[in-house]
Every structure is written in structure tokens, then in C-alpha cells.
Structure 1
């Protein structure tokens, strides 16, 4: 019978589901542009279910297109207000803004 080279009795490290999601889809990041802090959340193509207007180019971010959602991180009016004012950008448009 051939010998197995598979290690035995070794525990696999537990993976946090949030870390896995961040690795697969990219996590929310904070970026600074023109002295303002912004939260930037990537949206994978399969998760993009609606069409939006990109504020960078005024073109359409079509459903099924990977893009980013951006909102202020340092809003003095509060997080809820900042979230309600979030915008969907083409990834390229956000990079060059």
C-alpha cells in the first residue's frame, strides 16, 4: 500500500468569515482626497444589482459592473447622514478624482 504524504492530526487555523470576505471582495478602506477623509467600499460585479450615475464622469455604472461606493468618513453631521449621501463611482473615475 502506498504511503500517504498528507500530514495527520494538524489543526487547521480557524478563518474569520469577515477576514475571508475582505480578502475575496476587498474591505472598506479610508482614503484622503483633497483634505477630506472618505470611506471607499468596493462592490464586486455579481453584487452590483442596480445601475447608478457616476459623479466623476456622469456616465452610467451599469448593473453587473464592479465599482466603488464612496461616502465621507469625517462628516460632522453624523455617520447616518454621510451614509445617506454615499455615491457609486466607476473605480477608474474614483482613482483619478
Structure 2
């Protein structure tokens, strides 16, 4: 009796941008601790105004979302104060 070959599908290639996107981290700045979460270009579907430069963050533009990690009024208040920043503006923020 002949053997049947089972066809195994090839694994989907790793999308590095997708794998790294959304990786929440905590950063220390001069004014305290901040939660920082990258937004990939694919996940950026709305327009925002960057508080760093006042410029537009257009849909489809990778950027970061930041909010306080050490606020005095609790996590819900910190989340309500989150802002979308150009990655460069966030990095150069003092």
C-alpha cells in the first residue's frame, strides 16, 4: 500500500513591525514615570495633534501614545490624559 504525503502549509513569515508594535514600556522623564506604547502605521487610523510640536499626526503614521505611570489621581485619570506623540517629539522631550 503506497504512503500518502501530507502537505504541511508553510508558516506565515514573521512581520517584525507587527510583532514589535504595541509593546508597552515605562520611561522615566524629568517630570516622572510615563507609560509609552508604540502605535504602528497600520494601527494608526485617526488623525491626532502632537503635543510636542503641535503638528498633525496623519492616519497611517507610526507614533507613540504616552500617559502618566505615577499620577496622583489613579490609573483611570492617567489613561484619560494619554496623548499621541510623534516618536521623534517624544524622544527629544525633556
TM-score by length of 1: 0.75
Question: In the aligned structure 2, how far is the partner of 1:60 from the partner of 1:35?
Answer: 25
Question: Which is richer in helix?
Answer: 1
Shift of residue 80 of structure 1? 0.5
* Corresponding residue number in structure 2 for 1:85: 81
**Corresponding position: 1:24 with 2:16:** no
The one of 14, 34, 49 aligned to 1:53: 49
* Corresponding residue number in structure 1 for 2:61: 65
In structure 2, list runs of 5 or more residues that go unmatched: 1-16
CA RMSD, 1 decimal: 1.9
Question: In the aligned structure 2, how far is the partner of 1:93 from the partner of 1:54?
Answer: 8
Structure 1 outlier segments of 4+, above 4 Å: none
Q: How many residues align?
A: 78
